[in-house]
Amino acid sequence: MTTSVERRRFLKSLAAAGLILPGMSMVNGARAANEKLDLGDPQSFSFDALIARAETMAKSPYEPPVAPDPEIVGKIDYDTHGKLHYKREFSPFADGSGTYPLTFFHLGMYFAKPVHMHLIDGGTSREVVYTPDYFDMPEDSIARKLSENSGFAGFRLHEDVERDDWKTQDWAAFLGASYFRAIGDEGQYGLSARGIAVNTATSLPEEFPDFRAFYIEPAKSTNAPVTVYALLDGPSITGAYRFYLTRGEGVTMDVEKHLFLRKDIERLGIAPLTSMFWYSEQNKSFRFDWRPEVHDSDGLELWTGNGERIWRQLNNPEVIRASAFGDKNPRGFGLMQRDRDVSHYLDGVRYHRRPSLWVEPLGAWEDGSVQLIEIPTDDEIHDNIGAFWVPSAPAKAGNRYQFRYRLYWQAQNPFPMDKLAHVSATRMGRGGEPGTVRPHDLLKFSVEFEGDILGTLAYGEFPEIVVSTSRGEIVRTKIEPIMDTRIWRAAFDLRVEGTDPVDLRMYLKRGDAPLSETWMFQHLPGIRGQQQG
């Protein structure tokens, strides 16, 4: 599931610059507005036909995409690629035939597989034929040696053409395998989504199926979606996708996917999310970096089919860890960036403004589990966190699936917990009480809760802590309001032996009614920083 160091560094540098790279009109309009834009012959197009094509492909052996001129593409490294800028005069829909202009990414060392780009006008599509003339590039760039129609690496959508800054501001991008991402309501890129996850953290090598072709239909107004169709192909799976991308305060994407399996898949991840978590306040002590926290997301949030709200704090383990949260017809899940305090990051890349990403299932998803994958990392350039839905039934060759869901790229959960307090921080330290000899076999967990419902407690009334552990012993619990804040701190001491993981669970209640979401945490006694100091 992890991406290469180079890919992560490349994407982060583009995002930090406010671009995901510096980067055509309805099909007929493109000719009039961009006389030099080379379009292929018209072809009939429909989503049903794309689905049928994916199903047919699944019945044949996989044929990997061939990178054009591999000796040339292999020399388009990070620095060379950064000098290849799509010319805005060739941007589809910039003539007003659509609301959001489109630009393309060039092929390069880290994005070597060509993706065919098509523009849709009604039931007709035409492919955009690659030429180096579309790009500003240095005279001595090796990219000039690429063959005609070598293809593109991906695309991005820019802001409303009526905006003066549309040429430098984009809001969604599809680049690399089946990865895509969007900005949130604070105008910043962060974590990514993927079309599919195949055999992530299993006994088999992970596969990264590719979007092989895109078919793009423009929005006609700021209230209308951009429609993107995509064809997916990989060694074990094919698929046809339809995305409705809507630009609002953040970005919302409605996704419909039809999947066809060539081979058995050990772990089939639906609606996969990919993020980075290096460290936060609970494990900073053993991370050698000057910043207080470094992460794109700090927790997995779940809204189960039976209505329970759960917060699972993320970890950076020393070995790959997979956690499963069994459910039926989940109401939603997401990798969230709750901590929005800039002083907690002190970093120019704006971690405090990174979007959260929430998945809302549309239709019945039946039995399965939300699975969380946590992979060790020693730097922020690695995507080391994955979360996705895995159906309970085995994923066998010949199976077909249809899923619909909505993705919300925004700062906060689109379905707030109005009647429950939420977790705002998880902290760890030595067990025992101040002014006493601290036992060496006790570890203290301190969890902070915030929410309007806590303000309904009468003076002198304290919530009850309900806490459990998968092993070891809870020695004492304590809850108190933090003076001059609206925060309540719930703390407990844990005594545990050995290095096996410990699954902890806690929530607050008043009488028989819960006052908070459920806090979950996987304590890893073998890791420095998750031990008593």
Tens place of pLDDT for every residue, the chain, 533 residues? 644 444 444 454 444 433 433 333 333 443 334 455 799 999 999 999 999 999 999 999 999 998 899 999 999 999 999 999 999 999 999 998 999 999 999 999 999 999 999 999 889 999 999 999 999 999 999 999 998 889 999 999 999 999 999 999 999 999 999 999 999 999 999 999 999 999 999 999 999 999 999 999 999 999 999 999 999 999 999 999 999 999 999 999 999 999 999 999 999 999 999 999 999 987 766 567 889 999 999 999 999 999 999 999 999 999 999 999 999 999 999 999 999 999 999 988 999 999 999 999 999 999 999 999 999 999 999 999 999 999 999 999 999 999 999 999 999 999 999 899 999 999 999 898 877 778 888 999 999 999 999 999 999 999 999 999 999 999 999 999 998 888 999 999 999 999 999 999 999 999 999 999 999 999 999 765 554 43
For the beta sheet containing 442-450, the strands, ordered from the edge strand earlier in sequence to the opposite edge, are: 422-430, 442-450, 488-495, 473-481
CA angle 75, 76, 82 (to 5 degrees): 150
- Alpha-carbon distance of 407 to 423, in angstroms, equals 23
What are the distances in angstroms from CA 510 to CA 425, 449, 452, 458? 21, 14, 14, 11
pLDDT at residue 55 in the model: 98
pLDDT at residue 18 in the model: 39
| Burial classification of residue 13, based on how many CB atoms lie within 10 Å of its CB (0-12 exposed, 13-18 middle, 19 or more buried) | middle
pLDDT at residue 353 in the model: 97
Half-sphere exposure of 162 (CA within 13 A, CB side): 6
Please report, for the chain, the start and end positions of each structural domain, with discontinuous segments joined by +: 5-410, 422-523
Q: What are the structure tokens assigned to 42, written together?
A: 């018209």
Q: What class does CATH assign to 422-523?
A: mainly beta
- Alpha-carbon distance of 512 to 479, in angstroms, equals 18
- Alpha-carbon distance of 64 to 289, in angstroms, equals 41
- Alpha-carbon distance of 286 to 302, in angstroms, equals 29
| Burial classification of residue 263, based on how many CB atoms lie within 10 Å of its CB (0-12 exposed, 13-18 middle, 19 or more buried) | middle
5-410 has CATH 2.70.98.10 classification: yes
Same fold, 5-410 and 422-523: no
Using an 8 Å Cβ cutoff, are 491 and 449 in contact?
no
CA angle 522, 526, 529 (to 5 degrees): 75
Predicted structure pTM score: 0.92
Strands 518-523 and 309-313: parallel
| Burial classification of residue 306, based on how many CB atoms lie within 10 Å of its CB (0-12 exposed, 13-18 middle, 19 or more buried) | exposed
pLDDT at residue 418 in the model: 87
- Alpha-carbon distance of 425 to 182, in angstroms, equals 26
Using an 8 Å Cβ cutoff, are 530 and 428 in contact?
yes
Which amino acid, 424? S
Give the position of tokens 């540098």.
13
- Alpha-carbon distance of 255 to 206, in angstroms, equals 23
